[in-house]
A and B are shown apart, each in its own frame.
Chain A
Amino acid sequence: RKEVEQDPGPFNVPEGATVAFNCTYSNSASQSFFWYRQDCRKEPKLLMSVYSSGNEDGRFTAQLNRASQYISLLIRDSKLSDSATYLCVVNGGSSASKIIFGSGTRLSIRP
């Protein structure tokens, strides 16, 4: 089993739709979690951290389920500009070598 797994997609949804994707992780000792956004042929950019109680930033909601070892990202009222690859990142310890990137979920928003 991969340490961090994501559905690669692509998710193809109409503008205005709500879309959600999950990311599962194998290390139960993982301490912190993030969602990054990566546009085609660009660098990843931090979208949001994921807190235990769940957190929201505008149209984006991130949640953590420690019991089932997954995090989720919900995008409401999707925009064309939301089209990108979303990377799940899990920090399993205090060393950089414990920070694991998922391979990403590709999202495409159609007009």
Chain B
Amino acid sequence: DGGITQSPKYLFRKEGQNVTLSCEQNLNHDAMYWYRQDPGQGLRLIYYSQIVNDFQKGDIAEGYSVSREKKESFPLTVTSAQKNPTAFYLCASSIEGAQANYGYTFGSGTRLTVV
């Protein structure tokens, strides 16, 4: 079955620690995205990538980094510079240029908590 896999489902981070969230898709989608969701708020765009080896900052990129070395993979690193990282992180993909017509496919999310 085609889809997006995010791991881990739950992640606990200590103060000052970097952590990496995995996102893999086998939908052959060109574009991939990372969103953050906080309680009672809409999804906010962290980073997106429309093609391999290229990515752009979204609205809240500070304290995060990404890479896109393979079409299937778009890992997100939450660095120690991100002061309030506790949130639900969602990875999504779409056929490039077609998110306007077909929307996104989302992974099941990673819930990150700072301990």
Question: Considering the complex, which residues of chain A in the window 1-39 have a beta carbon less than 8 Å from any beta carbon of chain B?
Answer: 4, 8, 31-32, 34, 36
B64 within 8 A of partner (CB): no
Closest residue to A96 on the B side, CB-wise? Answer: B48
Contact A94 B97 (CB under 8 A): yes
Central interface residue in B31, B40, B45, B102, by most chain A CB within 10 Å: B45
Determine how close the nearest CB of chain A comes to the CB of B9; give it in whole angstroms. 10
A44 within 8 A of partner (CB): yes
Complex CA–CA separation, A101 to B45 (angstroms): 9
Question: Please, which residues of chain B bring their CB within 8 A of the CB of A43?
Answer: 90, 106-109
Q: For the complex, count residues of B whose C-beta is within 8 A of A.
A: 29
Complex CA–CA separation, A103 to B102 (angstroms): 20
Determine how close the nearest CB of chain A comes to the CB of B109; give it in whole angstroms. 5
Contact B100 A97 (CB under 8 A): no
Contact B90 A97 (CB under 8 A): no
Question: Considering the complex, which residues of chain A in the window 57-106 have a beta carbon less than 8 Å from any beta carbon of chain B?
Answer: 87, 89, 91, 94, 96-97, 99-104
Q: For the complex, count residues of A whose C-beta is within 8 A of B.
A: 25
Question: Please, which residues of chain A bring their CB within 8 A of the CB of B18?
Answer: none
Complex CA–CA separation, A49 to B100 (angstroms): 9
Question: Considering the complex, which residues of chain B in the window 8-61 have a beta carbon less than 8 Å from any beta carbon of chain A?
Answer: 31, 33, 35, 40-45, 48, 50, 56, 58-59
Determine how close the nearest CB of chain B comes to the CB of A54; give it in whole angstroms. 17
Contact B42 A34 (CB under 8 A): no
Given contacts A44-B104, A97-B58, 11 further A-B contacts (CB under 8 A): A32-B101, A41-B88, A42-B109, A44-B106, A46-B103, A46-B104, A87-B43, A91-B100, A96-B50, A99-B99, A102-B42
Q: List 27 A-B contacts (CB under 8 A).
A: A4-B42, A8-B40, A32-B101, A41-B111, A42-B108, A43-B90, A43-B107, A43-B108, A44-B90, A46-B103, A46-B105, A87-B42, A89-B103, A91-B99, A96-B31, A96-B33, A96-B48, A96-B50, A96-B56, A96-B58, A96-B99, A97-B45, A97-B48, A101-B43, A101-B44, A102-B42, A104-B42
